[in-house]
Amino acid sequence: MPDELNTIAATTAEARTAGERRAQSRTNEKLGSRGEITRMVGVDFARFLAIIGMFCAHLMTPRGQPGHMPWLTSVVEGNASTLFAVVGGVSVVFATRSYLERGYVAAARWAMLARGLLVILIGMTLALAPGNVVVVLVYFGVAMLCTIPFLRIAPKWLLVSASILALVGPIANANLRAVLGVMNEGGGIDWTQWGDPTVALRAVFLTGTYPVVTWLVYLLVGMAFAKRLVAAVGTATELRFLGRTAGLGALLAAFALVTSSLIFEAFGRSSMVAAMPGASTDMMDTVVEGPGFGAPFSPASWALALQTPHTGATLDIVRGVGIALVVIATMLLLARALPKPVLRILEPVRAAGAAPLTVYVLHVLAASAAVNVLLMATPPPTTIPWWYLGPAIVACHVLGAVAVGALLAALKRRGPLEACVSGLSGAAARSFGGVTAAGPHPQQTGERAARKDSSSLASSRDTST
């Protein structure tokens, strides 16, 4: 009898322990889902800021025109596109992490190959639209393809690779352009430019407006950040990591700005005076302040050291990466700190940030439509119309992006282009990467639990291409 009582007691204790473990597991799952939601929301917020920055860069009145806002130009020029690219690197890790964790390395590669190719196809088609926006998607898509060999590389070596490219790339870029005698061989790369594939490929990788030799640096930095973020989450040091990242980003940006200014005043200004004897101080400052056309404007050592936006010079890269790290880390911290009611209010913003491809395509098409109207206007306007350039049209595009986000949030759907790219890349992974049909899609396993915790954040997974 005592033995039977001991057996019953032991069985009861084991059952209680098992129940406690299940309860704790459910609690951890909920906490993990909430953490995953806030991380995704923070990335979406950062991506939304990048999109708005690009709106401003494309649609605000340019230098030398009435209504130009120098302070806004200095904030967004070169920084918005860099932020978009660094967040793109974060998205590469988020989009392939589940495949890699389950051992489907080939599937991760096929998925990224499909994503990159689809972005390239969309970009070449979109670039056919007339307008003043240089469509970045072809460059971005090729850079995505170039991340495939780096998918399993540790963050340390990702940063080493990015540093080498940031040092060597500008030198190769500036010298090649000098040898060829070209300033810029490609804006938005469209279908027609592939009639001469040598020039088109050269433009994509080196001599275009957004050369892959520069943009790959940004994606590699974003990938390193995302991998270290995941590691920090696993060791419960996420807050410390984000705080240090924001501080490091601020130091990098300040270092680039100060060092560039010192180098220009010490060496650059006198060199420009010698090269352009009649140039005024304002003219020289305008050249140095940018923007460039994807490469340093001279292969001279002092020009390679400046932080002029859109030149891909080393300090330009350092400044852009620093600001991007500050923004991403701050948005992740903000998403953690905001209560759920506030996040629900900001859901349209989050949803717009989660649909960057859809929002970007609509933005480019709207800007192109304005150009067509301007060209057909009779008589032509004597001043810049508000619906073409300026704060008013920027506000319209921002409101349009938020409206798209509100619609997607209400429908609990992804952006149509994001859904298309994700679906086709998943099909490629399953068809060629050995992913079995059984079980949920790798990118959905952690999200379904998250949906149960917060229906208003149901579509908060990372959907960037």
| Digit-coded pLDDT (tens) for 223-243 | 999 999 999 988 999 999 999
Q: Let me know the angle formed at the C-alpha of 256 by 134 and 79, rounded to the nearest 5 degrees.
A: 25
Q: Which two tokens stand for residue 227?
A: 């991998």
How far apart are the two ends of the chain, measured CA to CA in Å? 67
Percent of the residues in the chain that have a pLDDT greater than 90, as a whole number: 64
pLDDT the model gives residue 437: 54
Inform me whether the pLDDT recorded for 222 exceeds 80: yes
Contact between 432 and 110 (Cβ < 8 Å): yes
Residues in the chain: 465
Contact between 95 and 443 (Cβ < 8 Å): yes
Inform me whether the pLDDT recorded for 98 exceeds 80: yes
For 292, list phi and psi in degrees, rounded to 5: -90, -170
Contact between 326 and 310 (Cβ < 8 Å): no
pLDDT the model gives residue 197: 93
pLDDT the model gives residue 51: 96
pLDDT the model gives residue 37: 54
pLDDT band of 449, cuts 50, 70, 90 = very low
Distance (Å) of CA 437 to CA 113, 190, 419, 445, 455: 20, 37, 19, 14, 27
- pTM for this one? 0.85
pLDDT the model gives residue 66: 79
Average pLDDT over residues 200-228: 96
Cβ-based burial of 15 (10 A; exposed 0-12, middle 13-18, buried ≥19): exposed
Q: Among 129-143, 219-233, 378-392, which is the least confidently predicted range? A: 378-392
pLDDT band of 36, cuts 50, 70, 90 = low
Cβ-based burial of 417 (10 A; exposed 0-12, middle 13-18, buried ≥19): buried
pLDDT band of 435, cuts 50, 70, 90 = confident
Nearest to 327 by CA among 85, 56, 157: 85
Inform me whether the pLDDT recorded for 256 exceeds 90: yes
pLDDT tens track for 267-309: 877 777 676 666 666 666 666 776 888 888 888 888 888 888 9
pLDDT the model gives residue 131: 86
pLDDT the model gives residue 322: 97
pLDDT the model gives residue 281: 66
pLDDT tens track for 146-166: 999 999 999 999 999 999 999
For 186, list phi and psi in degrees, rounded to 5: -160, 125
CA torsion through residues 77, 263, 206, 118, sign: negative
186 beta partners: 208
Cα–Cα distance measured from residue 272 to residue 276, given in angstroms and rounded to the nearest whole number: 6
pLDDT band of 39, cuts 50, 70, 90 = low
pLDDT band of 38, cuts 50, 70, 90 = low
pLDDT the model gives residue 355: 96
Q: Let me know the angle formed at the C-alpha of 309 by 229 and 203, rounded to the nearest 5 degrees.
A: 90
pLDDT band of 63, cuts 50, 70, 90 = confident
pLDDT band of 431, cuts 50, 70, 90 = very high
